[in-house]
Amino acid sequence: MNQRDIAKLAGVSSATVSRVINKDKKVSPKTAKKVLQVIKENGYVQNAMARNLRMANTKTIGYLVPDIKNPFFIAMLSGFQEMCFKQGYDIIFENAADDPEKEKKALETLLRYRVAGLLAVFVDSDNEYIDVFGNMGIPVVMIDRKSSGVQKNDYLMIDNMGGVGQIVDYLVSLGHTDIAMIYGPQDLTPGVERLNGFRKAMKKNGIPVKEEYLIPGLFTEEGGYHAVQELSQLKNRPTAMIGGNNLTTMGAYKALVDYKVSIPEEVSLAGFDDFPFAAHLQPPVTVIKRPNTNMGRIAAELLLERISKGEEGKDIQPRSIVMPTQLCIRESCTQISSLKNK
């Protein structure tokens, strides 16, 4: 597929296609939209390294994350990079900054540089560029977040529901029944599964879920902070709080410190996902740990296998791998009988 083919399908000249690709403002919005639609449908992207070497293997692999501030994505990169470097592949890193439009531009960049494969935690797991990679024969391994449609790519995740269940069971063993969940976005797989896991674990323990204790935290520090502010306004406050991810837990911890709420003497706090300084806070925070570095290694193995097999790799059915979590007990939770103002 070249510019001449695109021009023929769009009913315009090759020069017009070139102007659209180069974002020439002289092209009418209607024409530009028509040309771009044909480009997307047919998987045509200019190769910035060598436009005529469409099938060239550049020995580079793309690594796309939604938020570079999240320690999980950097920790996973360590294992991924280790395996890729052993096979002679360099990594092009892209950060979408939780913005679907920035994500699309990042994917366009990776396509232009004709990466051999892509490991991605998508902001939008249903964006049209995922199919473009497939149409161009570039394998994709998805981490953490599923597409809503039929699975077409390898997928690596952790046991979100089981992980939250471990926290709930631990808090219940300490005597807590008034447990708050600061949950993540409900359009993301981890957000949905962790909230469902919370409800399931509470039901298993015979404890009714109090809807006022379910507060959206958006998987951000700010969201965790504001959630604690909201919970603090309740007449009957929870005796324990669960952060939906590491950033949420960080924000919740900061809010409790700012409001001079003692952890764990006045409220117990636990979170999903470890973070670098969690063990060094006072008190150290109880968390669910996932095998971040090993996840990166396994993701690399899946991707490198498909790359090495080339066209034959298409015959491998999409694979789903669910990895276990581990409850890391520190000092941020206590027996209900030990709480002040109980």
> pLDDT tens digit string along 127-151?
888 888 988 889 999 999 988 888 8
- pLDDT for residue 327: 98
Determine the average pLDDT of the residues in 245-265.
Answer: 97
Strands 90-95 and 60-65: parallel
Query: At which residue do the structure tokens 């960049």 appear?
Result: 109
Distance CA(132)–CA(206), nearest Å, equals 48
- pLDDT for residue 52: 35
- pLDDT for residue 279: 96
Confidence of residue 213 (pLDDT cuts 50, 70, 90): very high
Determine the average pLDDT of the residues in 217-230.
Answer: 97
- pLDDT for residue 51: 44
Closest to 245 in 3D by CA, of 280, 215, 217, 210: 217
Q: Which of 61-65, 77-81, 111-115, 156-160 has the lowest mean pLDDT?
A: 111-115
Do 257 and 230 form a contact (C-beta atoms < 8 A)? no
Determine the average pLDDT of the residues in 291-295.
Answer: 95
Confidence of residue 308 (pLDDT cuts 50, 70, 90): very high
More confident residue, 174 or 108: 174
DSSP label of 266 = T
Residue 7 pLDDT greater than 60, yes or no: yes
Confidence of residue 256 (pLDDT cuts 50, 70, 90): very high
Query: At which residue do the structure tokens 């977040």 appear?
Result: 145
Residue 297 pLDDT greater than 70, yes or no: yes
Bridge partner list, 14: none
Determine the average pLDDT of the residues in 285-313.
Answer: 93
Closest to 181 in 3D by CA, of 156, 166, 199, 193: 199
Distance CA(114)–CA(286), nearest Å, equals 43
Distance CA(286)–CA(252), nearest Å, equals 13
**For 270, phi and psi rounded to 5 degrees?**
-140, 160
Distance CA(167)–CA(87), nearest Å, equals 39
- pLDDT for residue 342: 54
More confident residue, 190 or 43: 190
Do 148 and 82 form a contact (C-beta atoms < 8 A)? no
Q: What percent of the chain has pLDDT over 70?
A: 94
Residue 44 pLDDT greater than 80, yes or no: no
Distance CA(293)–CA(271), nearest Å, equals 19
Q: Which of 4-13, 228-237, 239-248 has the lowest mean pLDDT?
A: 4-13
Closest to 277 in 3D by CA, of 245, 250, 257: 250
Residue 95 pLDDT greater than 90, yes or no: yes
Query: At which residue do the structure tokens 């469409």 appear?
Result: 54
Confidence of residue 48 (pLDDT cuts 50, 70, 90): very low
Closest to 295 in 3D by CA, of 273, 321, 268: 321
Closest to 34 in 3D by CA, of 67, 8, 61, 64: 8
Which bin fits 234, alpha (ψ -120 to 50), beta or left (φ > 0)? beta
Helix axes 29-42, 3-10, angle to 10 degrees: 120
Averaged pLDDT of the chain:
91
Residue 319 pLDDT greater than 50, yes or no: yes
Q: Which of 29-43, 45-59, 145-159, 316-330 has the lowest mean pLDDT?
A: 45-59
